[in-house]
Amino acid sequence: MSAPPEADALQEPRRGELTAAQSRVIAAAVVLFSRHGVGGTSLQMIADEIGVTKAAVYHQYKTKDAIVLAAAEAELASLEAVIAAAEAAPSRTRARDLLITGMVGLAVEDRRTVNTILTDPVIGEFFARHEHFRDVMRRLHGLLVGDDAGAPARVRTAMLIAAISGAVMHPFVVDLDDEVLRAELECLARRFLGLPG
């Protein structure tokens, strides 16, 4: 595919460039995965969602697994961007601040998709097998609690990640405005970490 060289410096996840057709496939897949689970989503559903045939989808990705992998990495890329921004912060306090704000922002923005996809067993297997995911998690943990690899620190990080990504899709908050939810989540997340906020 041919793209204008200037205009698209913004959406490159650095890990494999997606063509426009591929982006359409992944966008549809993410929505459907979150609605029906990975196992409950067929290539026919993805094809229908973007208005093409199955064969056209197969031309972009040779197998369903390849689509699942690309969708998982697309989701991960958003988180990685937030982490990279936080790592570039001048101070540790500022870094944690950026991280909380960024993570809450991502979760609120996507709501239903983020956690459902992150907790899907099929995606979980991909993440467990791929070093890139573990690396991102390690960097996130480092920003939150430093080099401490003890049990309390690890449980703390796990709880914060689960709390933010899981809370946004809970029935209790479905009717809340994005801005209200974002503010409350940030406040409670900071308090959980013992930060001012």
Partner DNA sequence: GTCTATAGTGCGATAGAC
Partner DNA sequence: GTCTATCGCACTATAGAC
190 binds, among a second copy, DNA, none (CB under 5 to 8 A by kind): none
CA distances from 93 to 53, 77, 90, 99, 147 (A): 50, 23, 9, 10, 15
User: Total residues contacting DNA (rule CB under 7 A)?
Assistant: 24
Among 15-23, 62-70, 71-79, 116-124, the segment contacting a second copy (CB under 8 A) = 116-124
Closest approach, Cβ 27 to DNA, in A, equals 13
Neighbours of 190 (CB within 10 A): 17
User: Does 59 help bind DNA (rule: CB under 7 A)?
Assistant: yes
Q: Which of 16, 20, 12 is nearest to 56 (CA)?
A: 20
Of 54 and 130, CB closest to DNA: 54
Q: Does 20 bind DNA (CB under 7 A)?
A: yes
Cα 62 to Cα 77: distance, rounded to the nearest angstrom: 22
Give the C-alpha distances (Å, rounded to integers) separating 171 from 49, 107, 111, 159, 176.
26, 15, 11, 19, 10
Q: Which does 64 bind (CB under 5 to 8 A by kind): a second copy, DNA, none?
A: DNA
Which range binds a second copy by CB under 8 A, 13-21, 59-67, 68-76, 179-187? 179-187
The reply on whether position 21 binds DNA by CB under 7 A is yes
Tell me: does residue 121 bind a second copy (CB under 8 A).
Answer: yes
Q: Supply the minimum distance, in Å, between the C-beta of residue 164 and a second copy.
A: 8
Which residues neighbour 92 within 8 Å (Cβ) at sequence distance 6 or greater?
Answer: 146
Binding test (CB under 7 A) with DNA, winner from 31, 52, 122, 173? 52
Q: Say whether residue 141 binds a second copy (CB under 8 A).
A: yes
Binding to a second copy by CB under 8 A, coded x per residue (else -) over 147-176, reads ----xx-xxxxxxxxxxxxxx-xxxxx--x
CA-based Rg of the chain, rounded to a whole angstrom? 18
Contact stretch for DNA (CB under 7 A) within 46-54, 139-147, 153-161, 165-173: 46-54
Question: What residues line the site for DNA (CB under 7 A)?
Answer: 1, 3, 19-21, 41-45, 47, 51-56, 58-60, 62-65
